[in-house]
Structures are given as C-alpha cells and as structure tokens.
Amino acid sequence: MAGKTLYDKLWESHLVTELNDGSALLYIDRHLLHEVTSPQAFEGLRLANRQPWRIDANLATADHNISTETTERAGGVQAIADPVSRIQVQTLDDNCAEYGIVEHRMNDAGQGIVHVIGPEQGATLPGMTLVCGDSHTATHGALGALAHGIGTSEVEHVLATQCLVSQKMKNMLVRVDGELGAGVTAKDVVLAVIGKIGTAGANGCAIEFGGQVIRDMTVEGRMTVCNMAIEAGARVGMVAVDDKTIDYVKGRDYAPKGDQWTAAVSAWQTLHSDADAEFDVLVELQGEDIEPQVSWGTSPEMVLPVGARVPDPEQITDANKRDGVVRALDYMGLQPDQALVDIPVDRVFIGSCTNSRIEDLRAAAAVAEGRQVAESVKQVLIVPGSQAVKKQAEAEGLDKIFMAAGMDWREPGCSMCLAMNADRLGTGEHCASTSNRNFEGRQGNGGRTHLVSPAMAAAAAVAGHFIDVRELMAEA
Amino acid sequence: MKKFTTHSGLVAPMDRANVDTDMIIPKQFLKSIKRSGFGVNLFDELRYEDEGLPDQDNSQRPLNMDFPLNWPRYEGASILLARDNFGCGSSREHAPWALEDYGFRVVIAPSYADIFFNNCFKNGMLPIILNEEIVNDLFVEMNEQEGFSLTVDLAAQTIARANGESIYFEVEAFRKKCLLDGLDEIGLTLQHVDAIKGFEQNWKQSCPWLFDALS
Ligand code: SF4
C-alpha cells in the first residue's frame, strides 16, 4: 500500500465520522473570525437558539474594513467615518463580548490581518485543522496545518458543532526544485505556479508545496506561497513540517510550553508526506527558471516575467481565450505586445495577508533605502500586516526609510487589498500591488492591479514604472 | 432552508468565463450585517453605469443597457447560464445570497469554484454542471429564442427543454437530499453529537495543547 500524503494524515486525524454519501465530518481545532463574514453567522445561531460548541477554539480580530489612517484609528470604533463599517466592527465586538470569544480589537496590540496574526501568535499550529470565513485561510497551511476558507453558513456550522461537513480533495504536489536567483522571491514562485497551471488548475485539490526551493524558503515565504493556493483554484495549500516550522512556532503566545511543547514537537515531526506517498497530480517547476513576475491582466493567471511583453490577441487561436485577453487588455488599458516595463505606475500598495510580514517590509525597505518615490507616482501605501509587525518594523527603523523615500506608513489592516475602506485606486489607475487578486474593481472601481513581490513593488515606486528589481540591486 | 424540488424558469446569460464573486457582488456591499437585500446590487459594476454605494436608492441609477440582465427579454429570469469557473475568487457567501435575492434558483455552467459551489447548496440554490458542448448549445438556443425556459427536476436529475428533450445532470446524493427536504445542515450534524464528543475527548488526550490555550 502506498504511503500517506500530509493531507491524508491531517484528514484522517480529524475524521469524526464518515457520512454515508462519501462526505465526512471533520473536527475543527481553530476557527478565526473577522467582521465581514461573521455577523450573519452569529445572527443565525441566535435565531436557531444555539450556543457555540467550544469558545476556546475561536479567535477574532477586526481587519477587513477598518481605516489605516493613524488619526482615524486613534478615535476607536466610534470614530470610524464610514457608518456601515462602524456597525460591522461594533457588531463583531458585541458578538465576541456576548459569547466570551477572545478578540483582538481594532487598536489592541494583538490586532492585525487575521492570516497574519494566527501564525504570529501561535494560534495556528502544525497538525491543526483551521478555518476562517475568508478564502486566503490557506496561508496557515505553511505551518503544516489543514487550513481553508469557508462561507458564512459554514462559519455558523463550525461555531455550533466544531465540525465541518467535508469532501476529501485530491492530492496535488507542486514541486519547485533547484534554487531561486537573487531578487526572486516566494511571491514570484507562486505567481509562476499560477501562470503555469491557471486559476482553475488545482480545482478540487489540496496542494502540497515541496521541493528544494520550498525547503530553503523561510516560514514567512511559505505563507506567501500557500496564501495564493486559492488563486490556483485550490482551497488548501500546505508545506511539510521541518525544523524551520518548529523554530518558528517556539515561544509564541499561544504555542504549547513545557512538557506539552515536547509532546507537540514529537507529534509534529510526523507531519510530512511519506516517501512512497502517491499524488493524483504533480506539477514541477525549476527554481532557476523563475524570474520576478508581474501580472498584466484581470486574473492572477495573466502573469509574466518582468522582461516579457503582454500578449497579442492576434496570435491566439482559441476564440474563448482570445476574447478573455482582449477584454483584459481593454480593462487594463494596455496595448497588445506592450512591454511590461513600459507600464507606468500611479499607486503602489505594499501590504495584505500575502506580503505584509516583517520580511516583506524588509525586502521593500532594502529597495527604498536611499531612493525617492518617482514624481509621477501619486501614493505609496505601506500597510504592515499586524500591530506586532508594525512595532518590529519601527524598532528596525523601516518606517523611517519608507517615509524618507516619500511613502506612507499606515496602521495594520487589509487596506487596499480589497479597498473596503478609504484606501483605493481611482478609475484607470495602475497599481503595483503585493496583494493576491487583480480582478476588475478589486482595488477600487475601474482600478488596474498588477500583482508583484514587495521588492518589485518598491522598485516600481521609485522607477515610476515596472522595472526588474535586479537592475536596482546591481546599481546599489 | 428553502426546499428545492422542481423549478421552471426563464434563462438569462452570463457569457464570460471566470466570473468572480466580486463581480457577482462587489465588496462595498459586504458591509451589511444582514443576509438579504443584495439582489439589487447583483453584478453591480456591469449592471449600472455609475459606481454603486451601500444604502443607496438603486431605482434612480443609470442602467448599462449593454448588459443582458437589463434587457426586457430577460426580466424575471431565474436560471443563470454561465461559463467556466463561475464564482471564483473570494469566499463571500454574499454571492449566492445576491443571486438568490435577485431571483435565481439555478445556475448552469461547465465548472465552478469550490467554495461558491458549496455555498449555493447551503442557500437553497442548485448549481448544475453540464459539459461545455451542452452549455454552448444552450447559449445558442437561448440567443435565438426569446423566452427560452428550462425545467429542472432535482429528484430525477434532469433538465427538460421545451422541445421535450431531457438533459441528465449529476449531483451528490447528500446535497440532493438536503435540497429536496430543505434540511438544516447544522441540525443534521448535531445528530452526531455523541461521535463529536467522543472524538473530542480522545483528541484532547492526544493533543492537549490544542485546547484551552485561548481563553
Ligand atoms: S489582506 Fe486581502 S486577501 Fe487577505 S484577508 Fe484581507 S482582504 Fe482578504
């Protein structure tokens, strides 16, 4: 019999019971909540007269629609200018208070983007099942957890039963062998994967990322990769546990201590696919082939190496595909065959659960240091992923570097990743963004998003257009 | 949950691939703490000429007449005919809520994004997968014929065309049962309360660090 994959092991260890139609009840260890997808779930509980099953499994924070402006934030919930956002944040506070759920409120030291604070506080641990009403929950799989996004009905279901009705997914291995070149980052790896397999390439699969490049990557880099699994169509992305994972978890607030730590570590050491495990789908990339990436269209699969030119619809034979390219070029205001480096940038956004951790900010600061934002660029927003990241960055003086370069240093939240607050693009504006989605209107009505790594975003900010960050590195 | 047994209705098109949930219901409408009222903002950016804001009077907004749902011939449609990878992107359940609130009970497409697909069933909507060729055929027929309607019979797993022909579709048995009976999934899961408690006890013994850390 073939060995087990990491996903098989996580699935089996959480199996409560198989239902007679092929689905199963899976036990959920950790449930993260935020203001946007939870109010209707709490309302549902109340309407049905049900109680949460296990309060200590839940952790909440406000992140999606809060302001990132220091002055607006200072006034607390009552000072949130947008009345609809204010009600939503207040509703989360009220619900958590009513049920006794631990919440990191808007200005608490533990607040931040839900997918940044989970790992950072040790609320995400290897071997867990973890869910959240947000599709980028796959991020947490970087620690060897089974983590995925759920809808609001499922949020209510998990609150009420601590279980989820699940279907086993297929196993996909994305193996990135070799080594990455200088200036090539985790973000470029995952964009290259999506460019290769497409946004539906992993539908129905749980992806395990492996290979030398992933093993060499820091745990934060692995989070960036897993974060975007959903953009390849997979609800789940994960990486096997190794010494780096264990070092990362050690000492964090909610991580086990003492004897429990020792027991946990020995359990975690089994969290990898067996050598003889079989995968349903295998995708292979070579690290040396991956270059800094820039997305040009309105879907994350519309992505190319920075030195490339955008496609020319005339060269595409498949009619459906051609239509898609024509529509994307039109929306993005690009000419067929235009060089990516000729696209001017109006705004830059460095943040989001994909790229707002300390290493991301360090990479951006390394490029920004001693340079100035180009005059043609209207705004460069630097939004740390959490209060803890912000504090760390300030301790290292990164905020000073950004501000000296002419960039805005903000308060933690989702910000321009989805533009539910005041941070957004104007119609027709091009944005170099470290977030994860370039859909039409994602960052503001009519806005044009180009997905890049933090270093590439900072490089675009100083150049005023996309540029291969390796050119700037060579200058320094 | 609303039961779904059979449904007959007018078919309307969403003729592009990779329609994401932000296109279905743009994020500015997610600030609501309610479950209803999203229908007027379904496909907001495509449907209206101006930018939509929450809590606005939508009846006064200029319509984009290039968008088929605004054409008189599709008024009252309750079956949406769509393309590959429908419902990709954000996990927001507001997407099926908006479709349902607008009046759609059925979506037909060659493929869906997983989370959206799941969310439909939980809201009394039936997302049907048909192969690309049949979907193409249906698009052609719908374009040619004003008033093009279909009848979906969930128990029989068939779609009846006006010409009497019938198309078979697959649906998972459990999901089918829940829709047919209008079953509440939480109630169903709670029938396994002993199994859940038993699992939890064992689990707490083998991994005590997963319990009580947050309190
Ligand atoms: S940063 Fe963006 S992708 Fe991440 S949780 Fe917030 S809105 Fe979602």
Give the strand pairing for B6-14 and B79-82. Answer: parallel
Cα–Cα distance for residue pair B42/A473, rounded to 1 Å: 46
pLDDT tens digits along A283-312 = 999 999 999 999 999 999 999 999 999 999
B65 within some domain: yes
B70 within some domain: yes
Looking at residue B56, its pLDDT comes to 84
Q: Is A258 exposed, middle or buried (0-12, 13-18, 19+ CB in 10 A)?
A: exposed
Neighboring chain B residues of A264 at a CB cutoff of 8 Å: 207, 209
Residue B87 has pLDDT above 80, yes or no: yes
Cα–Cα distance for residue pair A338/A334, rounded to 1 Å: 7
Q: For residues B11-17, give the mean pLDDT.
A: 95
Range from A26-35, A170-179, A418-427 carrying the lowest mean pLDDT: A418-427
Pocket lining: A115 vs ligand 1, CB cutoff 6 Å: yes
- Please give the biggest Cα pair distance in chain A: 65
Q: Which residues contact A173 (CB under 8 A, 6 or more apart)?
A: A5, A207, A208, A210, A273, A279, A281, A282, A283
B60 within some domain: yes
Residues B56, B64: contact at Cβ < 8 Å? no
Which residue is it, tokens 């490029």?
A367
Mutational test site, ligand 1, from A148, A417, A436, max ligand atoms within 8 Å of CB: A417
Same domain, B173 and B96: yes
At position A301, the amino acid (one-letter code) is E
Q: For residues A236-240, give the mean pLDDT.
A: 98
Same domain, B189 and B139: no
Cβ of B17 within 8 Å of Cβ of A102? The answer is no
Pick the residue of A84, A194, A261 with the most B CBs within 10 A to test the interface with B by mutation: A84
Please report the atom of ligand 1 found closest to the CA of residue B90: 8
CB atoms within 10 A of CB A472: 19
Cβ of B111 within 8 Å of Cβ of A57? The answer is no
Looking at residue B41, its pLDDT comes to 95
Neighboring chain A residues of B85 at a CB cutoff of 8 Å: 199-200, 203, 233
Same domain, B160 and B202: no
B24 within some domain: yes
DSSP state at residue B63: B
B161 within some domain: yes
Distance from CA of A154 to the nearest CA of B (A): 8
Same domain, B72 and B120: yes
Residue A49 has pLDDT above 80, yes or no: yes
Residue A190 has pLDDT above 70, yes or no: yes
Neighboring chain A residues of B45 at a CB cutoff of 8 Å: 440-441, 445
B1 within some domain: no
Same domain, B174 and B192: no
Cα–Cα distance for residue pair A166/A143, rounded to 1 Å: 21
Q: For residues B73-86, give the mean pLDDT.
A: 96
Q: For residues A194-212, give the mean pLDDT.
A: 96
Mutational test site, ligand 1, from A34, A36, A37, A63, max ligand atoms within 8 Å of CB: A63
Cβ of B214 within 8 Å of Cβ of A65? The answer is no
Give the chain A residue whose CA is nearest to the CA of B86: A200
Q: For residues B123-147, give the mean pLDDT.
A: 95
Residue A476 has pLDDT above 70, yes or no: no
Residue A73 has pLDDT above 90, yes or no: yes
Q: For residues A312-332, give the mean pLDDT.
A: 94
Three-state secondary-structure class, residue B187: helix
Q: For residues B124-144, give the mean pLDDT.
A: 96
Categorize the per-residue pLDDT at B140 as very low, low, confident or very high, splitting at 50, 70 and 90.
Answer: very high
Looking at residue A437, its pLDDT comes to 95
Of A48, A56, A153, the CB nearest to B214: A56
At position B145, the amino acid (one-letter code) is Q
Distance from CA of B164 to the nearest CA of A (A): 30
B73 within some domain: yes
Q: Facing residues of A207 across strands?
A: A172, A237
Q: For residues A413-431, give the mean pLDDT.
A: 93
Cβ of A154 within 8 Å of Cβ of B35? The answer is no
Looking at residue A178, its pLDDT comes to 98
CA of A270 to the centre of ligand 1 (A): 31
Q: For residues B3-13, give the mean pLDDT.
A: 95
Give the chain A residue whose CA is nearest to the CA of B190: A161
Same domain, B43 and B16: yes
Residues A208, A7: contact at Cβ < 8 Å? yes
Residues A182, A471: contact at Cβ < 8 Å? no
Cβ of A161 within 8 Å of Cβ of B196? The answer is yes
Categorize the per-residue pLDDT at A108 as very low, low, confident or very high, splitting at 50, 70 and 90.
Answer: very high
Residue A1 has pLDDT above 80, yes or no: no
Please report the atom of ligand 1 found closest to the CA of residue A351: 1
Neighboring chain A residues of B197 at a CB cutoff of 8 Å: none
Cβ of B199 within 8 Å of Cβ of A27? The answer is yes
CATH number at residue B115: 3.20.19.10
Residue B164 has pLDDT above 90, yes or no: no
Residue of minimum CA distance from atom 6 in ligand 1: A414
Same domain, B168 and B65: yes
CA of B205 to the centre of ligand 1 (A): 35
Pocket lining: A442 vs ligand 1, CB cutoff 6 Å: no
Residue B112 has pLDDT above 90, yes or no: yes
Residues B165, B22: contact at Cβ < 8 Å? no
Neighboring chain A residues of B210 at a CB cutoff of 8 Å: 29-30, 125, 128
The total number of structural domains that make up chain B: 2
Cβ of A200 within 8 Å of Cβ of B88? The answer is yes
B92 within some domain: yes
ipTM for the whole complex: 0.93
Pocket lining: A136 vs ligand 1, CB cutoff 6 Å: yes
Cβ of B172 within 8 Å of Cβ of A299? The answer is no
pLDDT tens digits along A340-381 = 999 999 999 999 999 999 999 999 999 999 999 999 999 999
**DSSP codes, A289-322:** G---EEE-SSSTT-EEETTSB---GGG---HHHH
Which residue is it, tokens 């006006």?
B162
Same domain, B154 and B192: no
- pTM to 2 decimal places: 0.89
Neighboring chain B residues of A442 at a CB cutoff of 8 Å: 22, 27
Same domain, B105 and B87: yes
- Among B118, B133, B150, B135, residue whose Cα is nearest residue B9: B150
Q: For residues A158-164, give the mean pLDDT.
A: 98
Domain with B212, as residue range(s), is: 185-215
Same domain, B109 and B175: yes
Cα–Cα distance for residue pair A236/A355, rounded to 1 Å: 18
Same domain, B113 and B16: yes
Cα–Cα distance for residue pair A99/A175, rounded to 1 Å: 43
Same domain, B100 and B179: yes
